[in-house]
Amino acid sequence: MERISVLGAGSWGTALARLLCNNGHDVTMWSALPDEIRALKAHGENCEKLPGVKLPASMRFTDDLKEAVSDRDILLLAVPSGFVRSTAAKLVGLIPDGQIIVNVAKGIEESTLKTLSEVIEDELPTANVVVLSGPSHAEEVGRDIPTSIVAGAHRKTTADYIQNTFMSESFRVYTSPDLLGIELGAALKNVVALAAGIADGLGYGDNTKAALITRGMAEITKLGVEMGGRAETFAGLSGIGDLIVTCGSMHSRNRRAGILIGQGHTYEEAMAEVKQVVEGVYSAKAALKLAHKYHVELPICEQVNAVLFEGKDAGEAVRELMLRDKKIENNDMLWRT
């Protein structure tokens, strides 16, 4: 039995806390919001973020961070990406060297263009950081629907330990040393999911979405490999797997926000309607900055940024994508002479 604290009481943190508790581990959930903790204690479920999913009676809840992180084998960091740095900074002096921190947020820090594991390592240089990602809606994990994800770590022993801790009959965990590729796939797919949602909101069909998913994956892979990620990672669970589920499901807050934007709402209005953090909005600017830094062309990402932040008409953005200069699909293939 491992001693684990989940920092963050959103839908994903709640689903994983339940999973870990059902796996036989000693689990505590922490939130910075006392009202959130009182509600979890009172109802035994996260009525706002994950309604209908009952939590084990053995799970504990606290709003005291020092209590939550004291003497823990694993800390699961499940706060929104914009709060990863500030939450990690609060752990300085509270955790030992080598503390395992599993990050499950998805995003890129816009001000530094760092992945979230790099952000954590900035604040906590001695931490042993792991990333957990893949096609995994909290609503389905909370109902024990079979799910597969990937755990990325610098050391194989750490990845194997996390694999053993999280594995269950309904939750399969693979391992990988490619933290960078895993995190880039996780963050950038949210931008493409916004585009897919926008296309849905405009009333386009399956052909359009398939094109966006396919070409979006090509953009993600091109940038990711240029930055040092492995192409195989983008063809895996945290790449194409996560992209498919995020572009195709109404569980996806990015897709739902995109639908509203395609129907004419601003991104602020869409986020207010979705009532959850829409990570793709924050990742879009960072993705475009990375594209410029690494001299990689990301036409879908460029058009998403124009729609979100420049007031561009969504239909016009799609038309511009369709009317771009003619291209070869794969430049590495040779023609017969």
| pLDDT score, position 276 | 78
Mean pLDDT of 130-150: 97
More confident residue, 271 or 148: 148
CA-CA-CA-CA torsion for 263, 265, 268, 272, nearest 10 degrees?
-70
Task: Let me know if 189 is a catalytic residue.
Answer: yes
In tens, the pLDDT along 35-49 reads: 999 999 999 999 999
In tens, the pLDDT along 299-312 reads: 999 999 999 999 99
Phi-psi sector, 178: left (phi>0), alpha (psi -120 to 50), beta? beta
Distance, in Å, from the CA atom of 268 to the CA atom of 290, rounded to the nearest integer, reads 24
Q: Which fold has domain 3-177?
A: Rossmann fold (3.40.50)
| pLDDT score, position 166 | 98
Domain parsing of the chain, residue ranges: 3-177, 180-322
Which positions ≥6 away from 24 have C-beta within 8 Å?
A: 1
Number of other residues whose CB lies within 10 A of the CB of residue 319: 11
Does residue 327 register a pLDDT over 90? Answer: no
Distance, in Å, from the CA atom of 120 to the CA atom of 100, rounded to the nearest integer, reads 11
Distance, in Å, from the CA atom of 305 to the CA atom of 21, rounded to the nearest integer, reads 40
| pLDDT score, position 282 | 87
Q: Which fold has domain 180-322?
A: N-(1-d-carboxylethyl)-l-norvaline Dehydrogenase; domain 2 (1.10.1040)
For the chain, the average pLDDT equals: 95
- This prediction's pTM: 0.93
Selected catalytic residue, list 41, 66, 106, 189: 189
Least confident of 16-25, 168-177, 267-276: 267-276
| pLDDT score, position 329 | 84
Strand partners, 133: 150
